[in-house]
Amino acid sequence: MACLLNGAVNFCSQCGANVVVRVPHGDHLPRYICDRCGTVHYQNPKLVTGCIAEWEGRVLLCRRAIEPRLGMWTLPAGFMENNETTAQAAARETREEANAELEDLRLYALFNLPHISQVYVMFRGGLKGGQASAGAESLEVDLFCEAQIPWDELAFPVICESLRLYFEDRRRGRFEMHMGDIVRGADRKVRIQHY
Amino acid sequence: MACLLNGAVNFCSQCGANVVVRVPHGDHLPRYICDRCGTVHYQNPKLVTGCIAEWEGRVLLCRRAIEPRLGMWTLPAGFMENNETTAQAAARETREEANAELEDLRLYALFNLPHISQVYVMFRGGLKGGQASAGAESLEVDLFCEAQIPWDELAFPVICESLRLYFEDRRRGRFEMHMGDIVRGADRKVRIQHY
């Protein structure tokens, strides 16, 4: 139950009363419920969108200026906002983190990270004009060819896997849409399964 | 601003104090913020997963027993839960709404519905044994060939578009991954854009 209710809710955001944890009538999972005003406080997975931006055979990486993984390299990516599309969200993150514009965006991969209730939607596209510079959340940004990728300094397994698939597809000259699960088990080991 | 903050938050779910709406330092969008305990209450899009389940050339539809669109036909689909993958979520919804099991699930389409901050992830797969019956949220379930689809009684534009693409792909003998935006404008008209 604890892991289904990821973020603790103590009070009702509608009326301010204390909440209880119970399976609502007709439901099958425990939820935070307000018995004063009747609101059920559902919790759902979060969408993260990002992009592999390419310029003359090299890809754009950003070195993180924020926790977690401060100082590690990542693809431009972040939590999707309300009232935008996944492609708009990926473009916004690239603008915010790398002062860069994308072109010819294509859906590239969907990764499930059920242990942290996240779904990553990754795009690939062109880096317009090859122009980029560090945004507020980046220490620096740079373009890397495959041989230069700092594989041991990548921030998250999902970033590593996105880049691995991308270079594999590029070598064989055919980009496919990918889907996979990236799960960190109780033993802290990361397991990746593709479909 | 009102449309960025979709669900009204009156009280802090952590400490119970009143919240204010403000752009946090270093952010660029207004958020619900608790000035007593410092919690920022982010709001993010929700993921809906569903499936086109096929059996001997026909697809499974469910007639809705719940609002909205009570009495209309839909594909098995619903809000993704924490700690599951998109494929597991689609299988669970199909089990709940149609007492049916899926096999050979494949990612089929991603639809952005930014006006209601939802992203649909649709799969296609086989309906195991051709077996299905109405679950608690369905009045009835049935299998339909293309000519029998009740196009004027489908619950949502995203369901109509998923089925339209599916039968189009099947006619030409090649299934592709699709992505599109489905937007209902201020004039209430639905616009669909594919990538």
Chain A residues closer than 8 Å to B87 by CB: 112, 179, 195
Specify whether domain B1-43 bears CATH 2.20.70.10: yes
- Residue ranges for chain A with pLDDT beneath 70: 1-7
CA gap B80, A28 in Å, rounded = 13
With an 8 Å Cβ cutoff, are B86 and A117 in contact? no
With an 8 Å Cβ cutoff, are A83 and B181 in contact? no
pLDDT-derived band of residue B194, with 50, 70 and 90 as boundaries?
Answer: confident
With an 8 Å Cβ cutoff, are B82 and A115 in contact? no
Among residues B122, B101, B124, which one has the least CA distance to residue B170?
B124
With an 8 Å Cβ cutoff, are A13 and B14 in contact? no
* B147: closest CA of chain A, how far (Å): 31
Among residues A15, A69, A59, which one has the least CA distance to residue A37?
A15
DSSP letter assigned to residue A168: H
Chain A residues closer than 8 Å to B88 by CB: 114
With an 8 Å Cβ cutoff, are A87 and B47 in contact? no
- Interface with chain A: mutation pick from B42, B179, B182, highest number of A CBs within 10 Å: B179
Rounded mean pLDDT of chain B? Answer: 94
The predicted-structure confidence for A105-127, as pLDDT tens digits, reads as follows: 999 999 999 999 999 999 999 99
Residues of chain B with CATH 2.20.70.10: 1-43
Mean pLDDT of B29-50: 96
The predicted-structure confidence for B80-120, as pLDDT tens digits, reads as follows: 999 999 999 999 999 999 999 999 999 999 999 999 999 99
Give me the pLDDT at residue B53, please. 98
Mean pLDDT of B118-138: 97
**pLDDT at position B26 over 90:** no
Give me the pLDDT at residue A6, please. 60
Residue entry with tokens 């994308």: A102
**pLDDT at position B1 over 60:** no
Nearest CA in chain A to B41: A13
Nearest neighbour of A80 by CB, restricted to B5, B45, B105: B45
With an 8 Å Cβ cutoff, are B12 and A8 in contact? no
Judge whether B186 and B115 are in contact, CB under 8 Å: no
pLDDT-derived band of residue B8, with 50, 70 and 90 as boundaries?
Answer: confident
Judge whether B183 and B191 are in contact, CB under 8 Å: yes
Is 0.90 topped by the overall pTM? yes
Residue A127's SS3 state is strand
**Under CATH, to which class is B46-194 assigned?**
alpha beta
Mean pLDDT of B37-55: 96
**pLDDT at position B6 over 80:** no
pLDDT-derived band of residue B5, with 50, 70 and 90 as boundaries?
Answer: low
pLDDT-derived band of residue B3, with 50, 70 and 90 as boundaries?
Answer: very low
Amino acid at A40: V
CA gap B13, B17 in Å, rounded = 8
Residues of chain B with CATH 3.90.79.10: 46-194
CA gap A152, B155 in Å, rounded = 49
